[in-house]
Amino acid sequence: MDQSPDKLMSRLAYLGLLPFIISIICIWADKTLFGLSAQKVFIAYSAVILSFLAGILWGNAIDHIKHKLSRNALILSILFSLIAWGVLLHSPETYVISILVLLFGFVAVWFAEMKIRQVEKEGKPEGYQPMRNRLTGLVAILHLVALAS
């Protein structure tokens, strides 16, 4: 079964929500995952995905290195990765703070990426920004659900 890169990108992106959802279910059920608390697994996965998105921002900046916003995007991408790393180093007792910081990071990286794509007037791949908008909204909701748990 051959599928277009856009469909593959979309499917993989939405499948990336599963670890968030599984972690939340385990939080509700008071279960562990891989011998770790479900809260810790949720935070670790969230930090990894935030760093991944920061890498996408870095790549976008490199693709448009001559643009004035490129410098800001490079700096922001490193900042978002450092934020994610810092959350991983935090003590488990700071669960609420960690979730809030990660939630802020997801919204901030989405906003930065959207701003850069608007300035560049680039829409490739075509369905990327609408997909990112939906995914960021869903990830934000999942973080709020994790907070409520």
pLDDT of 121 above 80:
no
Distances (CA, A) of 55 to 26, 117, 148: 29, 15, 29
Tens digit of pLDDT for each residue in 35-59? 999 999 999 999 999 999 999 888 8
Number of domains in the chain: 1
Amino acid identity at 89: L
Whether residue 30 lies inside any domain: the answer is: no
Does residue 125 come out as left (phi exceeding 0), alpha (psi in the -120 to 50 range) or beta? beta
Q: Give 72: exposed, middle or buried? Use CB within 10 Å, 0-12, 13-18, 19+.
A: middle
Q: To which H or E segment does residue 33 belong? A: strand 32-33
Whole-number pLDDT of residue 123 = 59
Whole-number pLDDT of residue 17 = 97
Rg (CA), the chain: 16
pLDDT of 148 above 70:
yes
Whether residue 25 lies inside any domain: the answer is: no
Whether residue 2 lies inside any domain: the answer is: no
Q: Which residues constitute the domain of residue 50?
A: 35-148
